[in-house]
Amino acid sequence: MSQPKFAVIGHPIGHTMSPFIHQQLFAMRGLSFDYDVFDIPPQELEQWIPRLKEYTGFNITIPNKEAILPFLDEIDPTAAAFGSVNTVKVQNGHMKGFTTDGPGCILALECGGVIPRGNVLIAGTGGAARALAFALACYPGVEQITLASRTTSLSKGQAIAQAAESFAHSTGHTARLLCVPYEELEGTFDLMLNATSVGMRPNVNGCPVSDDVIARCKAVFDAVYNPGETVLLQKARAMGIPVVHGIDMLVYQAAAAQMIWDESARFESEAVARLCRLAEEETQRRFQNR
């Protein structure tokens, strides 16, 4: 029997911390496996499928979370509802897609002392934003979710809002969802989540929303994890607003992915929390001079 092997795909992918995190998680279990990195633009994804089927499992990051869907043999019902996949399990060439975006984000928030509630703002209308919208719409205490969109993506954001609201209501939750252009954001928010790539290396000076919007948020989460302290988080922290780092979400997502690849895998919560800080330090060490 061949040795299990794993990978992450995305574009660009040079910034990824996934190999470091997964190797640490494997080590917690007394294991050591290969974890490769492949830079694959969406338009080249189809030609890579035969090679990816040789792996035991792989992770998917921007911009392939939706692009992978047509090539999967099966999709977990939750991932199908969310409309994006970030984890694939391969068995005898059969590829099944899952999402750990929602659970990873929820765990990162909770462990960071931020409990989603009330009025939530999500910046973005891509696959990550959709997954977060679906997950948070079903979180007790969340009453309304506003997706902020560029004008050119407004119809896409409105479709996400409608689908996530319907999904939440079908499961007994009553959250309301809407999508508005960034320039029309009004009122205060109990939590803001950046689900865009704005602020990611190499474009580290970007910020997805204005200072005025940040000041109207009671807590801020940024899914971007490189740099660890994005401009968005720096500004929020300077305003005295609690922040949660994207690296925490990545670590909890990775742990959830390993439990998909191997249903017997288990992790102690304290060990995962320590890994979050270790991964944050490694990110800073690795990229501080770039």
Residues 162 and 269 in one domain: no
Q: What is the pLDDT of residue 127?
A: 80
Residues 192 and 275 in one domain: no
Read off the CATH number of the domain in which 95 is found: 3.40.50.10860
Classify strands 94-98 and 118-123 as parallel, antiparallel or unpaired: unpaired
Whole-prediction pTM value? Answer: 0.88
Euclidean distance between CA atoms 29 and 101, whole angstroms: 22
Residues 151 and 234 in one domain: yes
- The parent domain of residue 209 ranges over 115-241
Residues 217 and 122 in one domain: yes
Per-residue pLDDT tens over the stretch 2-45: 799 999 999 989 878 999 999 999 999 999 999 999 999 999 99
Euclidean distance between CA atoms 168 and 136, whole angstroms: 9
Residues 65 and 182 in one domain: no
Q: Which residues are catalytic?
A: 65
Read off the CATH number of the domain in which 235 is found: 3.40.50.720
Q: 147, 186, 183: which is closest to 165 by C-alpha? A: 147
Q: What is the pLDDT of residue 15?
A: 79
Supply φ then ψ for residue 238, to 5 degrees.
Answer: -65, -25
The answer, yes or no, to whether residue 288 has pLDDT greater than 80, is no
* Domain tally, the chain: 2
Per-residue pLDDT tens over the stretch 87-107: 999 999 999 999 998 989 999
Per-residue pLDDT tens over the stretch 155-182: 999 999 999 999 999 999 999 999 999 9
